[in-house]
Amino acid sequence: MLKAIGQGLKILLVWQICNLLFFASLLLLLGVLWGVAVSRDPSLANVKGESHKVVAGEKRHGKNQGVILELHLDGIIARSPSHDGWMEEEGCYERILGDLARAEKDKDVRAVLLRVNSPGGSVTASDHLFSVLKRFKASTQLPLFAFYEDVAASGGVYASAIADHIMAEPTCITGSIGVMMPRLQLKKLLDKVGVEEDPFLSAPLKDMGSMTREPTAEERRLLQEMVDLLYGRFVDVVLEGRGERITREKILELRSSFFLAEKAAAVGLVDEIGHIEDCYKMIRDKIGDAAMPVVAYEHKHGLMELLELLDARIARPAMTLEKWLPGLLSSGPLYLMPSASWASWSAGRFSGVPLSGIPLSPGLP
């Protein structure tokens, strides 16, 4: 009898342990789902003081203490592509959009600093960032500053042109105010292997920009017209952002070249030359608070995202033909410094972004 009672108690104990494990797993799952939702939906994010990570200065306690919010525009500017798995990769484009949405509700933010380290990228993504930053300034009436780091060229200049004040590192490469529509010509290569394209078209211009044949005079005219229009938009954006500090004539004289910060300051593309510590001090002086901390928003990740980041560090996926060929065969304009296009494509950074050719620059392998 006692033995049977003992067995029953053991079974009951195991049953209770299983129940506890089940409810603990359920709570963990709900926590993971909430973490993913917060990291993906800026409207669910906590914008109180505890979401601030101090970058420079001392953390202040209490509400409405005042902070300088730092955002990072790093790498190629593009809408991040989806990849295999449950999550999508979040690039600088999505991250800045999310941080600006949080900043609109954050009463602690007194100014925004955009740190740019980008050779540019997609025309549409660069244009959208400029538009969002412009609306953010208008709706919040907060000052916007930009700091150019190693490279701040083409689309990086475009997106940040609306900043009230721009400082650049002395060794920063900037400029490249222009548009490129890269294109490979494969006809001679295909002729050698006996491959010929013979498409059925709804109209003669349907395959305009094809790499398997020489473009006609009309096609060249239409494509160049598109590039010229986008270049004109770029010039207008810089003039809108920089105001009287630069003229249309000076921009056109640059002929889409890139150069160092000293020349950028001389033509009015940047306001000052200095290091990041100088930039922090400049912003604090303009705000009138010498001790205001510089912060960044903390980005929470769910369990699946952390596992994917770990997997990416262990084994980076190989750049296979089926992954890069669709992007290579498509065509589209870019606000991109030419020397960046090959490195970006070869590193797999342009997956899903229109890139139909790779102009090699001197010094690149």
**188-215 pLDDT, tens digit each:** 888 899 988 888 989 989 888 888 888 9
Of the candidate ranges 8-22, 183-197, 286-300, 334-348, the one whose mean pLDDT is the lowest: 334-348
Q: Are strands 334-336 and 120-122 parallel, antiparallel or unpaired?
A: antiparallel
- Biggest CA-to-CA distance, the chain: 102
Active-site residues, by number, are 154, 206
pLDDT per position as a tens digit, 247-273: 999 999 999 999 999 999 999 999 999
Residue 285 has pLDDT above 50, yes or no: yes
Query: Is-above-0.85 flag for pTM?
Result: no
Instruction: Please report the domains of the chain, with CATH numbers, ordered by start residue.
Output: 38-177+246-318 (3.90.226.10)
- Of 74, 76, 72, which Cα lies nearest the Cα of 344? 76
With H, G, I as helix, E, B as strand and everything else as coil, classify residue 45.
Answer: coil
Q: Give the angle 187-192-197 at the CA atoms, nearest 5°.
A: 45
